[in-house]
Amino acid sequence: MVRRLATIVSVSVLPLVFTSGWASGVNAYAVVLLLGLFGAAGVADDVPQTLQRPEVLIVAGVLFLCEAVADKIPYVDSLWDSVHTVVRPLAGAWVGALLAGQSGSLSDVAAGLIGGSTALASHAVKAGTRMAVNTSPEPFSNIALSLAEDLGVGGIVTLAVFHPEAAAVVAAVLLAGGLLTLLFLVSRIRRFLRRRAQRREERRLASRAP
């Protein structure tokens, strides 16, 4: 299936679609903002005009700042991730379709599927890792992980603009490594979810107590 999609999408744009999809699953607003700024500055010729529009850049910048704050607060980051379970894959599909070029063509659909599915996979890794990190009471691990993600997305997107093939390889390695790590964190995440459900039940019972 992936091989057939890859033949439909232009080979030259496929690495950028894949990389932007991975990065969108981590921080979709940063991807839109960076690509738009690169395009508006004339650094990259392959960035669609839609991403360079001032209103798009402003909205992406504001939402990026919101995510930069929410992403560093324990439990708030997991709530933010749950809300973006739909947003990030849609953003990855949207950016992928725009990068593919011609609106409404089959190549746009294929690029959207690749970008969206890659974003969904990397989002699952991020959300699961955050759940595991939130089992620790201190906030410093959340801050460090958030900064690493922001820097990673910025670096990967920048690399993708100048060397898309190399960036795609790095993104693929990070995605594979993240999925393997997530498998090891499943038990910790389950304990976290059970403890959170127990706290909700305790609060509910306490509120009903006379």
Q: What does the pLDDT look like over 111-121, one tens digit per residue?
A: 899 999 999 99
State which residues form the domain around 64. 2-185
Average pLDDT over all residues of the chain = 85
Residue 149: alpha-carbon gap to chain centroid: 9
Q: At what angle do helices 14-40 and 106-133 cross, to 10 degrees?
A: 90
- Would you say residue 10 lies in a domain? yes
- Would you say residue 35 lies in a domain? yes
Which residues 6+ apart lie within 8 Å of 209 measured at CB?
Answer: none
Q: What is the four-CA torsion angle of 64, 39, 164, 118, rounded to 10 degrees?
A: 40
Is the pTM above the cut of 0.85?
A: no
Q: What type of residue sits at position 55?
A: E
Looking at residue 102, its pLDDT comes to: 46
Tokens of 110: 């294929």
pLDDT band at 13 (very low <50, low <70, confident <90, very high): confident
- Would you say residue 203 lies in a domain? no
| Angstrom distances, CA of residue 119 to CA of 22, 45, 105, 136, 153 | 5, 23, 21, 26, 12
- Would you say residue 34 lies in a domain? yes
- Would you say residue 95 lies in a domain? yes
Cβ atoms 67, 58 nearer than 8 A? no
Element (H, E) at 133: helix 106-133
178: closest CA among 155, 145, 154, 151?
A: 145
Distance CA 23, CA 157 (A): 7
Looking at residue 10, its pLDDT comes to: 46
- Would you say residue 40 lies in a domain? yes
Exposure class string for 156-176: b at 16+ Cβ within 10 A, else e: bbebbbeebeebbebbeebbe
Of the ranges 26-40, 69-83, 91-105, the best mean pLDDT one: 26-40
Please say if the pLDDT value at position 176 is more than 80: yes
Distance CA 117, CA 198 (A): 33
What's the total number of domains in the chain?
1
Q: Percent of the chain beyond pLDDT 70?
A: 86
- Would you say residue 190 lies in a domain? no
